[in-house]
Structure 1
Amino acid sequence: MTSMTVRPAPDLPRRPEGPLPAPRPRENRLRALDGLRLVAALMVAAYHYGGRGGDITQSWGSSAQHQFPTLHTYFSYGCLGVQVFFVISGFVICMSGWGRPLKSFFASRASRLLPAYWAAVLLVTAVFALPMVAYKALSPSDVLVNMTMLQMPLGVDRVLGVCWTLWAEVRFYALFALCVVLPGASRRRVIMFCAGWTLAAAITQAAHQPLLDVVFMPEYASYFIGGVGLYLVHRDRRDVYAWGIVAVSFLIGQHYAVQSLWNVSDPHAFAHRTSLGIMLVVAFGFVAVAAIALGWLRWANWRWLTVAGALTYPFYLVHEHLGWVVIKVLHRDLGLPSAVTFALTLAVMLTLAWLLNRFVEDRLTPRLRTALNKTL
């Protein structure tokens, strides 16, 4: 959910430790990373539309199991797109924070996240407030709290179902900013950050202290850390410490994914994911980002991937709740087949994402970044 513009990364000799000078002009773009972000977003959308129960049943008029008798099991793995996002985020945040002062890092993150987020919160609230829409809108007070992106720790109902992932992202940004960006990024400092966070997350799991859970996020830390390790690999593919970080992060990450999503013992589960299937999807996220870090997907340099990357974040924000509304209209009101409804809903949400990118992000993001860089 962040910008992908980067420097080229050939095999580099060891850099001197300590803060680095300002980065050189960024010359090319990892377009394959843009494409992977869209793949992860479509995975999550498939899960929300056909891989779970809950409110989507009201939209379809029956369980998604009946709408997609075979595919619903595969769609149920789509929730792991979030873990893929977190690995990508670790890579991108380390990349964007390297050699950048704290003020610039904060301005970049805030201006990237907030404009589309504010627009999505207001749009979903407005649609859910329509008389013909059957879903409950939040109170004005709760909507205002949602504008801060702090509704999760404050215990306020969410306007956007996916915003819990943004709360995890924000905590990662804060940890990285305090431990790496503020003192100045260096290879040694990043390695110590990864090692320290891994150990702190493990201790947190054993301590059963809610405050530590909030700060160190043991369930999700390994994905962010793995992405950071992969950026070190991008800088120097011979870095043994970087590969060690990636390997340990995968081993821990697959454990948490299986622990939280393997539901074989629940006879009433919507779909029974296998532990092997969960491990393979987590491995896909790590391997795909590793392939990009190593330059193996440099050939995937199509311009349309840049557009795909730009649409991913607004699509991710609006696709779930507004998708419910579109599915109901297309399937129950107009009687379109399930497969056609599924495809058209994705198309409508991607079109809406393009509008948000074109008329909200393109206009507000540079202005907010400039204002924050001037005033902080």
Structure 2
Amino acid sequence: MHTAAPAAAPPPVRTPTAPRPRLAALDGLRFLAALFVVLYHYTAISDKHWRGQSPKDLFPHLHLVSAYGWMGVHLFFLISGFVICMSSWDRRLGDFFTSRVVRLYPAYWFAVLAIAAVLIISPVVRPAPTVHDILTNLTMLQEPIGARRVDGVFWTLWTEMKFYFLWALLLWKGLNYRSAIAFCLGWTVITLIAAETGSQLLTSAFATDYAPFFIAGIALYLTHRFKPTALLWGIVAVSYLLAQQTTYVNYTRRLKDLGYHVPEWPVIVLLTAFFGVMALLALGKLDWIRGAWLTTLGVTTYPLYLIHENIGWTLIYHLADRLPHAVLVGALIVLMVITAWLIHQTVEKPFAPLLRTALKSSFDELRTRTTASDSHPSGPQPGRRKLD
């Protein structure tokens, strides 16, 4: 007599842990990353804004720290992997697209026009952009078509957008715990293949120079949302080890921008600190950090990053001989933070809902018409206009 084999037990379903309070520490980290970049541009780089004077001489102690401020961008990318995974969980592709457009474009459009106006009025640190440059920059797609950036910091936006394009493919297929891990592993493999083959196509399309930061951020969010596992920690560890190579290459490049030498060892120390603090955040060890003031600083981060470079350099150029250098830099940072907050209040907050409503309506219409088309597979019915 044959008995039926017992049914295989279904695979365990991972469920999120209890909701955690808002990650105020994440807002603080984002602001610190932006501030680090600002200090780098104001007190480390040798450029026209200090009228030929070296920041190494102007800031004999501060430059030893701010010379590594370019690494703030690496922290941004690490945070971005965490935040994008968090904000897009249980959301549709259209919702993800809408959230990114609403988050990025209003402040960016304002920044492009404001920076262009400053450079046109006073082209002392950078040549004034052409009308063609300005119009192209409004798309945020100037990088791939070779148009000149209105501001140097805009290069990171295209890197972010490559991540969004790849992540959108995952959302289209279906985002869950397993697919997110597969995404991390697949992106890592492609990064290695691109390095081995020297493929410029893969390197560019998959942003392989900065992929380890995004990948680690995703794995850390999965750790935060579900629970730590050896696989997730393995992804973070491999990403860290690959990231240190990318960071070292950037260090050698930044020495040319600085115009003077700084030691290499702080690079690995800072990189380790970035991964370490994000790991603590993922494990809930920083949940005790609270405060509405951190959220306020967090909302200023993106506008601050966008507007600080060329506008700040122009102001430094005109005021460098009138104020003590330390006072000028301190006052300028405060001014930029306040300006960033005003941009959030007067540009992002009023225009974001309008843009979100318009895009939501567009996607609702797209879904409605797609459903209507699917109901007539043989084509438009007599007397009915084709929907596509």
Aligned to 2:246: 256
Which residue of 216, 221, 245 maps to 1:226?
216
* Rounded Cα–Cα distance in structure 2 between residues aligned with 1:325 and 1:369: 34
What SS is found at the alignment partner of 1:182?
helix
* Rounded Cα–Cα distance in structure 2 between residues aligned with 1:249 and 1:127: 40
What SS is found at the alignment partner of 2:46?
coil
Which residue of 290, 302, 311 maps to 1:301?
290
**Does 2:320 correspond to 1:327?**
no
* CA offsets 1:266-299 (integer angstroms, 9 cap, x no match): 7996243333211111112111211111111111
> Are residues 106 and 329 of structure 1, via their aligned partners in 2, closer, same or farther at CA, if it must alter by over 3 Å?
same
**Does 2:136 correspond to 1:171?**
no
Aligned to 2:96: 105
Quick check: 1:127–1:133 contact (8 Å CA) kept in 2?
A: no
* Rounded Cα–Cα distance in structure 1 between residues aligned with 2:239 and 2:295: 28
1:243 to partner: Cα distance:
1.0
> Are residues 239 and 148 of structure 1, via their aligned partners in 2, closer, same or farther at CA, if it must alter by over 3 Å?
same
Aligned to 1:359: 346
Which residue of 185, 188, 194 maps to 1:198?
188
* Rounded Cα–Cα distance in structure 1 between residues aligned with 2:134 and 2:56: 33
* Rounded Cα–Cα distance in structure 1 between residues aligned with 2:253 and 2:116: 33
- Residues 121-160 of structure 1: pairs in structure 2 closer than 5 A: 121-131=112-122, 135-160=126-151
* Rounded Cα–Cα distance in structure 2 between residues aligned with 1:39 and 1:371: 34
What SS is found at the alignment partner of 2:287?
coil
Quick check: 1:230–1:246 contact (8 Å CA) kept in 2?
A: yes
* Rounded Cα–Cα distance in structure 2 between residues aligned with 1:354 and 1:32: 19
TM-score between both structures, scaled by the size of structure 2: 0.86
- Residues 1-376 of structure 1: pairs in structure 2 closer than 5 A: 16=13, 28-58=21-51, 61-131=52-122, 135-179=126-170, 181-262=171-252, 270-332=259-321, 335-376=322-363
* Rounded Cα–Cα distance in structure 2 between residues aligned with 1:257 and 1:363: 38
* CA offsets 1:240-287 (integer angstroms, 9 cap, x no match): 2111111111010011101221479x7996243333211111112111
1:307 to partner: Cα distance:
0.4
Percent of counterpart pairs with the same letter? 42
What SS is found at the alignment partner of 2:227?
coil
* CA offsets 1:148-207 (integer angstroms, 9 cap, x no match): 11111111110021111010000001101102x112211110110000000101111122
> Are residues 200 and 270 of structure 1, via their aligned partners in 2, closer, same or farther at CA, if it must alter by over 3 Å?
same
1:112 to partner: Cα distance:
0.2
Which runs of 5 or more residues in structure 1 are unaligned?
1-13
TM-score between both structures, scaled by the size of structure 1: 0.89
* Rounded Cα–Cα distance in structure 2 between residues aligned with 1:267 and 1:350: 29
* CA offsets 1:93-126 (integer angstroms, 9 cap, x no match): 0111111100000000111000000000000011
* Rounded Cα–Cα distance in structure 1 between residues aligned with 2:36 and 2:112: 22
Aligned to 2:371: none
AA aligned to 1:250 is: Y
AA aligned to 1:328 is: Y
* CA offsets 1:20-73 (integer angstroms, 9 cap, x no match): 9xx999874111100000000010011101111233333xx5121221123213
> Are residues 187 and 67 of structure 1, via their aligned partners in 2, closer, same or farther at CA, if it must alter by over 3 Å?
same
Q: Select the structure of larger CA radius of gyration.
A: 2
Quick check: 1:35–1:309 contact (8 Å CA) kept in 2?
A: yes
> Are residues 66 and 194 of structure 1, via their aligned partners in 2, closer, same or farther at CA, if it must alter by over 3 Å?
same
1:239 to partner: Cα distance:
2.0
AA aligned to 1:106 is: F
